[in-house]
Amino acid sequence: MLLTQEHLELKRTIANFVEKDINPYVDEWEASGIFPAKEVFKKMGDLGLLGISKPEEFGGMGLDYTYEMLAAEEFGAIRCGGIPMAIGVQTNMATPALARFGSDYLRKTYLAPAIAGDMVGCIGVSEPGAGSDVANIKTNAVKDGDDYVINGTKMWITNATQADFICLLVNSSDEPAHKNKSLIVVPTNTPGVSFSEKLNKLGMRSSDTAQIFFDNVRVPQKNLIGHEGAGFVMQMQQFQEERLYVAAMSIKGMEICINETMTYTRERNAFGKPLIANQSVLFRLAELQTEVESLRALTYQACERYSQGEDVTKLASMAKLKSGRLSREVSDACLQYWGGMGFMWDNIVSRFYRDNRLGSIGGGADEIMLGIIGKYMTSTQR
């Protein structure tokens, strides 16, 4: 993928923003268990960073997805996983279907403010009994007059406690599981919407995550995205952008682990010489960096094809699978070279060790990715 001057300018803008407006505060936000999404997103909206590939008529830049992917990669330089994940929810999980299939009313009311940073969005798919098994969700919406009445619950929802609206996947009919689902925009201040306390997670500490409850929540039917019964298909399309974002976002986090470990092993002496002087240490770090470059190439390829309108379900699933597994491998291997210091809570590699574990679970577990890849492989051999 060839980068234009416009790509490079966007990368510089985001790198400066991350260095000036996010990284100095990450430790504070990690300790408090939440970052100020409305404040951070407003700054991002003013820079145009929340609508890079969204329609210009609703405040976006109207650029192709290669720019979105480069932005995701730069957000990966944030020195934790929770904040880039929260950004990705806003830009690549809660709004793609809204931008692509939403009515002008929905896009003016929710998409435009989300792009401007005036609203925080979240995506409501997972449930206590339906994580990767999206078809098994139970939350339902029943028509009553001009409204939908929604009942159910959603679990592990990123941005939940700060969100202004939810892009909610529900069962809206008695059709089979892949044909009975719809996406509905639900404002979080609607009567009947309530939240659990922030969930106490292993990692991603600065990202607020909660369970959301829906008790006879009434929203107008004009809040339906697209048409009834198309929710599952739209969500599967939305997943492709999510998985490309996750893969791109992981790259610089892994490079932070490798680079910080390189620095530490140069400075740390053991048995009369720096740790990096041990060939096993240097070669292992070289091997890990090579793997990261391989993931970058795969992600770039998938993204470029996606921006050209190709079906990249297999490639996006491969990139998501590789990023989750490699993130775990890199952080685990690097932590080992820090010895006892690596076991300290505030160590940057320790933080990524905790945060990166989510990569093989969220957005479709590794096993789901393998199933998708295998299905595409077998279909080409028939």
Q: Helix, strand, or coil here: 217? A: strand
User: What whole-number distance in Å separates Cα of residue 264 and Cα of residue 281?
Assistant: 12
User: What whole-number distance in Å separates Cα of residue 322 and Cα of residue 334?
Assistant: 18
Provide φ and ψ at 143, rounded to 5°.
-70, 140
Locate all alpha helices (DSSP H) within the chain, ordered by sequence: 5-17, 26-32, 37-46, 65-75, 82-88, 96-101, 104-106, 112-116, 231-267, 279-307, 313-337, 348-356, 366-379
- Residue 346 CA, distance from chain mean position: 23
Do 73 and 16 meet the contact criterion of CB atoms below 8 Å apart? no
Do 176 and 187 meet the contact criterion of CB atoms below 8 Å apart? no
Dihedral sign, Cα of residue 187, residue 220, residue 114, residue 299? positive
Catalytic residue among 127, 242, 255, 304: 242
Six token digits for residue 270: 């053991």
Six token digits for residue 48: 């145009």
State in Å, rounded, how far the first CA of the chain is from the last one. 31
- Residue found under tokens 């798919």: 125
CA angle 359, 43, 223 (to 5 degrees): 70
Helices and strands per DSSP (H, E), number in the chain: 13, 10
Do 352 and 83 meet the contact criterion of CB atoms below 8 Å apart? no
CA distances to 60, 64, 96, 99, 293 from 53, rounded to whole Å, are 7, 6, 9, 10, 25
User: What whole-number distance in Å separates Cα of residue 54 and Cα of residue 56?
Assistant: 6
Is-catalytic flag, 127? no
Do 225 and 106 meet the contact criterion of CB atoms below 8 Å apart? yes
User: What whole-number distance in Å separates Cα of residue 196 and Cα of residue 153?
Assistant: 11
Positions marked catalytic: 242
